[in-house]
Structure 1
Amino acid sequence: MKTNPGKRLRVQQIQVKEFELLQIESSDLVVEILPDVGGKIAQIRNKVSGREYFVPPQRPYRTIPVEGDWLQHDTSGMDDCFPNVAAGQYPDAPWSSLRLPDLGEWTHGAWKVIALDKRAVTMKRSGTPLPYTAIKTTRFLSERTLESTYLVHNHGEAPIRYLWSAHPLISVEGEYEVILPPGKPHLRTFPSDGGSYSWPMWKGTDLSRNFLPSGKTLKVFVSGLSEGWCVLRQPTNSLRLTFDLNQIPALGIWFNNYGFPADSEKCFRCIALEPCTSPTDLLDELAPDAYQSIPPGGSVHWSLQMEISPH
């Protein structure tokens, strides 16, 4: 399908509805964004080779209702998880009766586009019932580097405890290497198996370059990074994420070797590099001071850069 760079596109999804597919591009990359599907980055494509870097759609795109189940919808591309990752109760008053959905509120519902040009898009949404407004801008910093910036303002009278995690499902076909900054980072599994391990070894497996057996998945959190970056290197390209350790001190990594979706004929293989604000997917697993919060009337701001380099 031929498209015009930077224009809003109307794309008919199979037996569902029309969704607005936005494209921004550089000389090297095309980025597709779906405001009506949680504002996700649906795909990043190399303009020369045609290579797609994220897992492609597994189901027709649909807006996930507030009470909907993320697992029953398309699970591809790159989502943002906020104010939680794993489903669970919000831990603090006055919202302690609130149940948070899997992958957080931002993946549910739609984002409103408030600015768009050839190289950038800005979207906005409000919390329900948490009293916040979020603004997300995705733009090209250079021909191979994409930046997402986030601003969240708390309109309420109580602090908002939160998690944020990137959730890019990066396609991995063959050999790979996960490269972290020099030092002695350590990891733990989620859910926890009770152990603490020195990266990259976990029960005899070098997670930096060896997949688990086929049909298995594993989520780990890496802490103690000396610098705010990580790289997934494959034979044809490297994908580097860069972030501020003061705001984003942990790194989640999800290894999926055809173990997800469970009980499905459409299992796929991917690695998700997930810079995150706390080394957990739950808002109540760690001590309260292990989480970031937004004070009443206050705001928080952070960013993530993604550089994709062909070899």
Structure 2
Amino acid sequence: MTRWERCEQQSGHDIWVVRNAWMEIKVVPALGSKMISLKHLRTGREWLSEAAGPLGNKGYATSFADSDGSGWDEMFPTINACTYPDHPWQGTEMPDHGEVWSIPWQVEIADERLSCHVHGVRLPYRLSKTYSFTEEQRLRIDYTVYNPSPFPLSFLWAAHPLFAVHEGMEIIVPSELNEIVVSYSQHERLGQTGDVRSWPIPFEDHPEICLHQVEAMTAGTAEKYYFRGELPEGRAGLHDPSTGESLMMYFPVEQVPYFAVWANYGGYQGGYHVALEPATGFLDDLSYAMKQGMAATVEAGGRYHWFLEVELT
């Protein structure tokens, strides 16, 4: 099958599926267009963390912590809850992890592509994405934000794919990157929000903390950090030395200049996964990013385009 088909239901929601000789993708448009499966058919490996219970969330403006804790969500137009700082939406409250992960998206099928779109609730925008294959082993997702208002609109988008991992896997980033900025660190193992640390070994006197290697679930840690500054190239991934398999992500640094990692090794709600998060803004708070001049902006009546490609080898 190379055409998207609505072929099953889970937890009462339609699932759209496409597969070729290399990979299989499953998307649930009613749940924020969540991708719930990214499977390498040649090896049988499921790259996305699966829900321990029923799929779903508690609805618009609820806590992301109360969702199913699985798959790949889109974070937009913020990650942390905050208020929009500028006219004419000054003071407008933005929900936890943004608006679009918790509401249904509309679906269109054309030319073996799945397109989903959603409209903003508290801010005026239309966010759309289209899935296609550039090669059998490479999935492409094209994104567009349209701003119908007569005012510039700033936003923060980040991919939030919870990848299934095991101890000893490696996080791959461009070799030029050598510093991170802490966004969240459980029990402040890496420090407080805004602290700058070295990559991949943040403390010279604790070489056992090596961030580019996936730790065991028993580590009981959970951390989110951004690489400091804009990226030299849009490339990041995971490698499993035990099997030789890799997942690589590619994206345009002109539109997506930042990159973050969420590494949960049993410390947050007992989860065990790593999220690789290309982002259009720096740190998780849209208000903060705007004040630092590190948020993306779509002009009045304009569109902002970017893409993300995922390759399985």
TM-score, normalising length: structure 1? 0.89
Question: Which residue of the other structure, out of 228, 234, 258, is the alignment partner of 1:228?
Answer: 234
Question: Which residue of the other structure, out of 212, 220, 223, is the alignment partner of 1:218?
Answer: 223
2:308 maps to what in 1? 304
Is 1:153 aligned to residue 153 of structure 2?
Answer: no
Number of equivalences: 297
In 1: Cα distance, 2:67 partner to 2:193 partner? 29
2:251 maps to what in 1? 243
Deviations along 1:45-64, whole A, 9 cap, x unmatched? Answer: 12233221111013312355
Which structure 2 residues correspond to residues 115-264 of structure 1 after superposition, within 5 A? 115-116=109-110, 118=112, 120-191=113-184, 192-203=192-203, 204=206, 205-209=209-213, 211=215, 214-224=219-229, 225-234=231-240, 235-236=242-243, 237-261=245-269
Question: Which residue of the other structure, out of 280, 284, 290, is the alignment partner of 1:281?
Answer: 284
Is 1:9 aligned to residue 32 of structure 2?
Answer: no
Deviations along 1:176-220, whole A, 9 cap, x unmatched? Answer: 111222224321100444532232122332201153862110111
- The amino acid across from 2:201 in the alignment is M
Is 1:93 aligned to residue 74 of structure 2?
Answer: no
Aligned pair in 2 of structure 1 residues 121, 194: CA closer, same or farther (>3 Å)?
A: closer
- Stretch deviating more after TM superposition (36-45 or 54-63): 54-63
In 1: Cα distance, 2:248 partner to 2:233 partner? 13
Which structure 2 residues correspond to residues 5-154 of structure 1 after superposition, within 5 A? 6-13=4-11, 18-62=12-56, 64-116=58-110, 118=112, 120-154=113-147
Aligned pair in 2 of structure 1 residues 44, 250: CA closer, same or farther (>3 Å)?
A: same
Q: Find the residue that maps to 1:259 and give its secondary structure.
A: coil
- The amino acid across from 1:125 in the alignment is V
Deviations along 1:70-122, whole A, 9 cap, x unmatched? Answer: 2212120011111011112222222223221221111021110022565x310
In 1: Cα distance, 2:194 partner to 2:156 partner? 22
In 2: Cα distance, 1:194 partner to 1:127 partner? 29
Q: Find the residue that maps to 1:201 and give its secondary structure.
A: coil
Identity of aligned residues (%): 29
* 5+ long unaligned stretches in structure 1: 262-266
Aligned pair in 2 of structure 1 residues 199, 241: CA closer, same or farther (>3 Å)?
A: same
- The amino acid across from 2:151 in the alignment is A
- The amino acid across from 2:221 in the alignment is K
TM-score, normalising length: structure 2? 0.88
- The amino acid across from 1:285 in the alignment is Y
- Stretch deviating more after TM superposition (74-83 or 198-207): 198-207
In 1: Cα distance, 2:234 partner to 2:139 partner? 16
Q: Aligned-pair RMSD on alpha carbons?
A: 2.0
- The amino acid across from 2:232 in the alignment is S
- The amino acid across from 2:125 in the alignment is Y
